[in-house]
């Protein structure tokens, strides 16, 4: 199958729709927030015209109250792949959620089961001495995890320390061992790349357009229905703070832009760690059709078209 990946606002949807039309394909969305019904503006879902040109799967499949996790995504993705193939179409996986894409390509690394007592003790310690102290301990045990996990990410810090206590080895070592034993799903990977200043400008323009299209009103309608996963979505969590009186509208718009810039940097760090990605540089103002042809050239070279 063909996988089109890239950072937020790189133009994946438009290019994927173009390529799908050329290769008789259907699109499997690998986006952790486009699965929620009603969360339309802030997740930059495909337009009705794009959906008409290329069938999409795993969009609008859950209500915002629901907790949707990577395990459910994998189950739904396998069902979608079966539907696509039964239609006699080529599967195209498109998305920018690294955790979902990693799970799709490599499967899920579970590690030792959760231990509520250890987690409660570590969280209590974090409350007492600060999250950064736990991060420093984790970094001393597992320097690679220290580079990958933010000093304020208590959930992942606790999990890394919990795994070390239970398994006696760093979580990174277990993950590497697991990946070696579980080869990647066979797929041609195409990455869309734009200069960072161009990408940031596209992000800022997109955020401005979202607010102009009624993002605040959309979040206000959904406010009582956003569950623990949906409420963390970029754009939605910042607008929720605005609706609670914690931020002005101007500060909210700026926060969404800055947080999206930060997210893009994290996306690219993970994407660059993948092997065998065919990166396509998109020139500023390049027509979608031209980019689509570049994607098709890779697909033909890899036997996917």
pLDDT at 160: 93
pLDDT at 182: 66
pLDDT at 183: 64
- C-alpha 305/C-alpha 302 separation (Å) is 8
25 by DSSP, 3-state: which? strand
Instruction: Mention every residue, 6+ apart, whose C-beta is less than 8 A from residue 34.
Output: 43, 44, 45, 58, 59, 60
Residue ranges covered by each domain of the chain: 2-108+194-301, 116-181
pLDDT at 86: 93
pLDDT at 161: 95
pTM over 0.85: no
Within 10 A of 149 (CB to CB), how many other CB atoms are there?
21
- C-alpha 115/C-alpha 1 separation (Å) is 38
| In contact, 94 and 16? CB cutoff 8 Å | yes
Alpha helices in the chain (DSSP H): 12-23, 48-53, 70-86, 98-106, 116-129, 131-141, 143-148, 154-167, 171-181, 196-212, 215-222, 236-243, 249-273, 288-301
pLDDT at 181: 67
pLDDT at 99: 87
Query: What fold characterizes domain 2-108+194-301?
Result: Rossmann fold (3.40.50)
- Backbone phi and psi for residue 172, each to the nearest 5 degrees, phi listed first: -60, -40
pLDDT at 17: 96
- C-alpha 18/C-alpha 295 separation (Å) is 10
**Which DSSP letter does residue 114 get?**
P
- C-alpha 173/C-alpha 180 separation (Å) is 11
pLDDT at 305: 66
Per-position DSSP letters for 160-227, written without gaps between them: HHHHHHHHSS-HHHHHHHHHHHSPPPP-EEEEEE--HHHHHHHHHHHHHHHHHTTHHHHHHHHTTT--
CATH 1.10.20.140 for domain 116-181: yes
- C-alpha 35/C-alpha 64 separation (Å) is 9
- C-alpha 44/C-alpha 63 separation (Å) is 17
pLDDT tens series, the chain, 305 aa = 899 999 999 999 999 999 999 999 999 999 999 999 999 999 999 999 999 999 999 999 999 999 888 889 999 999 999 999 999 999 999 987 988 998 899 887 777 888 999 999 999 999 999 999 999 999 999 999 998 898 989 999 999 999 999 989 899 888 777 766 666 788 899 999 999 999 999 999 999 999 999 999 999 999 999 998 999 999 999 999 999 999 999 999 999 999 999 999 989 988 888 888 999 999 989 999 999 999 999 988 887 76
pLDDT in tens, 64-119: 999 888 889 999 999 999 999 999 999 999 987 988 998 899 887 777 888 999 99
């Amino acid at each position: 199958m063909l996988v089109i990946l890239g950072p937020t606002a790189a133009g994946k949807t438009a290019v994927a729709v173009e390529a799908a039309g050329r290769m008789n394909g259907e699109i499997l969305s690998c986006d952790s927030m486009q699965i929620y019904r009603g969360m339309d503006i802030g997740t930059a879902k495909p337009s009705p015209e794009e959906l008409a040109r290329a069938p999409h799967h795993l969009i609008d499949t859950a209500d915002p109250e629901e907790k949707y996790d990577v395990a459910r995504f994998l189950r739904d993705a396998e069902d979608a792949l079966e539907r696509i193939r039964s239609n006699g179409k080529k599967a195209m996986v498109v998305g920018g959620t690294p955790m979902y894409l990693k799970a799709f390509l490599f499967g899920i690394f579970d590690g030792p089961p959760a231990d509520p007592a250890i987690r409660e003790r570590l969280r209590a310690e974090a409350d007492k001495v600060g999250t950064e102290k736990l991060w420093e301990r984790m970094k001393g045990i597992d320097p690679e995890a220290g580079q990958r996990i933010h000093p304020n990410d208590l959930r992942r810090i606790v999990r890394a320390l919990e795994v070390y206590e239970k398994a006696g080895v760093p979580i990174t070592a277990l993950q590497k061992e697991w990946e070696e034993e579980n080869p990647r799903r066979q797929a041609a990977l195409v990455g869309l790349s734009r200069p960072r200043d161009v990408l940031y400008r596209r992000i800022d323009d997109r955020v401005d357009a979202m607010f102009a299209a009624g993002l605040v009103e959309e979040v206000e309608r959904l406010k009582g229905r956003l569950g623990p996963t949906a409420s963390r979505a970029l754009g939605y969590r910042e607008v929720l703070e605005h609706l609670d009186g914690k931020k002005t509208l101007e500060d909210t718009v700026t926060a969404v832009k800055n947080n999206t810039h930060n997210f893009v940097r994290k996306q690219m760090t993970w994407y660059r760690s993948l092997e065998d990605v065919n990166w396509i540089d998109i020139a500023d103002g390049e027509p979608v059709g031209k980019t689509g042809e570049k994607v098709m050239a890779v697909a033909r070279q890899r036997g996917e078209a």
